Every structure is written in structure tokens, then in C-alpha cells.
A and B are shown apart, each in its own frame.
Chain A
Amino acid sequence: MTGRTKTMLAALALAAGIAALVLVPLLLNRYGLYILSMWAIMSIAAIGLNLTLGYAGQVSLAQGAFVGIGAYAAAIITTQGWPLVAALVVAVALCFVIGWLLGYPALRVQHHYLAFVTLAFSTLAYLVFRNEEWLTKGIYGITGVPRPTLFGWPLAAPLRFYYFCLAALGIVFAGAWWLVRSPWGRAFMALRENPMRAMSLGVDTRRYTLMAFAIGSSLGGVAGVLYAPLVEFIDPTPFTLGLSLNLLMMVIVGGSGFLFGPLLGALISVLLPEWLRFSEGLYLIVYALFVMILLAWSPTGILGIVDRYLARRRARAASAARSAAMPEALP
């Protein structure tokens, strides 16, 4: 295959995927649309975590907390009569700053120590959601979170709100694509693979680490801002450590460090419980088994398998081309 046909094929696959995401929901009922909207929202949060973890190599068990911060910001601000855009600005700014600060421990500790630090933050955020009743209404939660209007166009209907989430996902995905291909993306990967060497080549690892946390966290906030009007009721329960772990799973199962990884991981995480609903309580066991087998086989997730397959095929094609080019050199 030439590079040209490969690009064509990739573009075709992408177009087919987008068409499916736009057209299939026309056939779905309310609940199906809710599930797909949830997928789009979780994908946004997972894309953020993929930047921090998959590209920059910084473990975080706090992404769920940032979704919570975004959701509470949206719930509090929009129930006061402000538009969702205002909540978006506040949530992104807040999560960016808090994410930046959370990056500081990463300058001193790595791997499982960093996981513990971010886990502690996650717990702290949950306690704030539950106990600061003057702000969050505590365990009673905030009811009646309104769905937004876009330029005077109400988005309350499930299908419209789904398209709204899908458009947001499209923008976030394009932004991540743009970032990963920029010099920053390259510096993030250098940070992941060899921080000491990166530093010796002039990469200010400290600033890039903080940026990776800040950007990834603010995308968690964006997801939260969409989550609140989707479920229309916000209380602390969804934002326990479980959500952070779930987001981590999405990134790892899909393939961390691959742009499409979080989308795939989120799809599995959101759809699998639906498919396995007949199995009742067995769902978690099946999911856990699936994750364990997958990671034992391919630590880089599903897209890691695809990537290795393509690399092998490329190598075989290259060696075939070489031996075809110099047949007399063979014994």
C-alpha cells in the first residue's frame, strides 16, 4: 500500500465513524441517547487523562475529581441562572489552576508515589463535595440543573443534547490531535520516555510536567460541565475514587498514548455494562477478567495490539522489498 492509499483509507474510516456517530442515534431511544452522550463526555475526560498519563507519563488518580469540580461548577452556576458557557470558563480555569498545583508533587515523586498523592487529592475533593453544604448542598445534591441553549436554540431534547456533546468531543479531540503533533506533544513524550535525557536537551521538564497536569485536568473539567446538564442532578456519589479508576481503565484499555485510545476505552467502559446486563452481578467480574487478560497480553491496550500488527506488516513488506531489490545477493 502506498502512503496515498493509506491516507485515503484512514480518511474513509474516519468519515464512516463520524457518519455512524451522527446517524445511528436517530434510531435510538432516550436511554440509548443518554448512554451515547455519556460516552462522549467520558471520552473527553479520558482524552485529558491520556494527555497527562499516556503522553506525558504522569500517573493520576484524580481525573474523576476534576470531572466532579466541573460538574459542581456547572450545577452551581447554571442553577443561579447563568449560561453554561460561564460555567465552562470557570470550570476550565479552576481545573487548570488546581491541576497545575497538583503537578508539583510530580516534580518530586513518580509512579506509585504520585498515584498516592493524586489519590489523596481525589479523596479530598470528594470530602469537599460532601461536606461543604453551603456550596454543594452536601449529600442532598443540586437538583434541576438546566440543559443549555445554543444561540437561542434549546438543547433539552436528548438527541440535540447528544449532538451537543458529540460536537464538544469533536472539538476536544481535534485540540488534542493538534497538541500532540506540536513541539509540546513531542516534549511530553520525551518526558514520558526519558526525563533526564529530555532535560539535558533543554526541555524544561518542570514546566511541561505542570502543563501536562493542567491541560489534562481542565479537560476533566470540560467533561464535568457537560455531565451536569446530562444527568440534571449532581450529588457527591459519582465522584468517588471509583470514577478516577474507571477513567484510568478507559485510557489503559483503549491504549494509552494513542489518540483514539480513550474513545475506544470509554466505549467499552460505557457499553459493556449494558451488554452484560443479563449477567446481573457478574458484570464487574467479566470486566475485570477482560481487563486482566487484555493487559497481560498487551500492556499498551487494544490499540497497542493494532499498532504492533501494523508494524509487523510494515517490517515484512520492507524486507520483502529489500530481497526483491537484490535477488543475486541471496545464497
Chain B
Amino acid sequence: MNNFYSHLDLPSEEIISSCIHCGMCLQSCPTYNLTFDELSSPRGRIRLIKYVAEGKLQLTEKFAYEMNFCLDCQACETACPAGVKYGSLVEAARVQVEHSEYTSSLSRLIKKVAFRKILPNFKYLKLFAKLLRFYQNSLIGKFAAKILRVISKKLYEVNRLAPRVSSFFTDEIFPEKIQPLNEKKFTVLFPVGCLMNVMFAEENKDTIELLTKLGCEVIIPKKQTCCGSLPAHNGDLEQARKLAKATLESFKEYDFDFVISNSAGCGAFMKEYKHILKDDKEYSSLAKKFSDKVKDITEFLYQNYDFTQFKSEEPLDITYHEPCHLVHTQKVSNEPKLILLQIQNLNLIPLNEATWCCGSAGIYNVVNYEPALKILERKMNNIKNTNAKIVLTGNPGCLGQIRYGKEIFNMNVEVLHPVTLLNRIIKSGDLK
């Protein structure tokens, strides 16, 4: 082969040539806005990917760095008038980087241990989470944090970045099937999500409660694994495909109207199943059927309910941060805002640069701590300028990152998943 890629999942030539290098995406790119250097722009990255594909540039360390410096936030896709599917290019390029000698040791470790060993296995994940919870709550944890601070600021911060493990896990407190609190309207499948399950169990609980209040029978599939989104977005497509198939298997036995996701990243990837498995004889039709039923929770709520009858007890100033995987990947942007606008007594204040990445980007904030922090600072400033009391965002990565930002920049703002606020406002029995 005439290129410098070594792995089978090649960046698509067709997508590469669909970029007419007009530059219309430059200003929307958070990393370009850090450096103002074409090298870290979408257009620049596409050109590098092209050169490696054509065998004109070796897969170099600098190339690897740029591919991982990219947040994969896909803001450039939204901005691109020519319809260039940048996300799939950079993800393919990352697969190549992973199979080269230039993968960072930290990211390699995370990918090897977390993506390949812990995420796929629910038991391991929970065991790991319990250990982490013990660590976070214990004196050892506090002591270790102090030592880390002395050894390396970065490690210390990475340690702080990890969202705290929830005091309970979703799938342990809820049964497999949860009946609606009033007349049944839909049966929905709710994959509790690997990270959401152990780190954001509160948000999961809110989701389930809200759905049952709204007449949904909620099924939590017992045998599920990670949906594959984290490995997919970080250059491990092989593992992601494996997990996608396992997910499809575990959902096969149920009858349902929709698959509901409260994690933008997972939702985005489950909607992708039909594309990544389209050439798979065994799974392609199942994947298509499944993907077509996947809805982000806000998308589902907006399309099936009217919220104008609900009212917040007190007037609330709120604002909304758009998760990349919701606005740019799933193109779900108006739905959550429209719901919030429908509810009385909620004052939705527009957030400047709401569609900009918060710097979380999967494990980006762990691997690229410094740039992620700069991007986060910009986000937090924008949030501060709204003077809102609550900032809403529907993705675990964003929730974790913005909560972290709130702490380090000492801000007085509550960071919630939209379902949490909705669940507070909507009382059971409100809907007849």
C-alpha cells in the first residue's frame, strides 16, 4: 500500500477529498483558537491526514500529537458548508496513531486497561469503581492527593478531575423492569451506561424517575456492557465494534419503542452502530433497527410531550451548555432548549459560545491537561457572564468537567443534567 498507515481502518479518501480547504471551519475550532496556528485547525489536520494517506508524510510524532490534540468535538463539522465528515477522519487517524509507536504512555495505559479490560466487563467496572470510591473517601486518598501534588501538579489535577464515584450504582437499586407511575405510553430501553452507572447514578435515578412519571415503562438491560463510545472516540475502533455487538446481543431479547440515552456520547455512538456495522453480515440489519430507535432523552421528551403545563416553584435563572456529541454529532440542539423554554418560571439565559467544547472530550482532559484547562476556563467565563444559578448539560463528560471548573474557579453555580431539573419540577401524578 502506498501510504504510511499501518492499520486497516483507513481514513476515507472520499471524505479527505471532500474538503475544499476553504477555511470556513477555522474559527469554530477550540484548539485553533488556542494556537492560531493552522497546524491545529481542522483544515490543517485534514491536510496532514491526506499527506500521510498519500505517502507524502511519515506518520510522525508531531502528526500523532496533532491528532490527539484535536478534541474530536466536531464543531468543525457543524461549521463546514461542504459537509466534510471530519469526525470519522480523525477517529480513523487516531486508530493509525494507536498502531504506531507514537501513542502516549498515559493514553496507552488508559486504553489498554480501561477500554479493553474494565469497561467491557460490568463486574470489573463496579469493582474498580468501589475501590475508587473507597480511595476517594479514605484518608489514603486524601494523603495520596497531597503526595501527588508534590510530585506533579498534572497528576494531582488528573486525580481531582475524576468525578466522584456515586454512593450507589443504578443497576443495583433498580430492577430490570420499572413500571410507569401512570398510564403506560411507551416502553423504553435505558442502557444505564458504564460511567453513568457508577459515577452519575444520581442522574440515572433522575432519568428513570422522570420517565416513569411520564408514563414510560423503563427496561434496564441486565447483561449490558459499555456501548463502545469511549474506545471509538479514542482510536480503538476494533474494541468499539466488539462492544457494539455485545450491546446489540444484550438488547435482543426485549421489545421496546425507543432506546433512551442520557449521555450524549453514548447516544451518538449507538446511533452510529448502523454505520460501523453496515458491512457486517450478521449484525447489519439488527444494528440499523437498533440505531433508528436511539434517542437522546431531550430529543425523546421534546418529540413526545408538551411541557407548557409545568412550572418551576420559584423563578430560576438557568443556562445551557451544548455537549459536542449532542449538538455537533447528533445535531440535537433546539430540543433541550425548547423544553426549557416551555416550562414556566424558567429563565433561559443564552450562553455565549454554548456550542464550544468544554475541554472534557472523553479522556482528553486527562491526557491533554493543559490545553483542556484553557478551554475550560473560557467556558467557565462564559458561564459566569450569564449570572445563571444553574448550568445544564446532558453529558457525563461535560458534567464532570464543568463541576471541576466550578471548583477550581470558585464559582457559585449548580451544574445539573437537564433531567435532574425536570425531575425536580415535574411531580408524580402531574401527568394524568
Query: Does B bind A?
Result: no
Chain B residues near A (Cβ < 8 Å): none
Which A positions have Cβ atoms within 8 angstroms of B? none
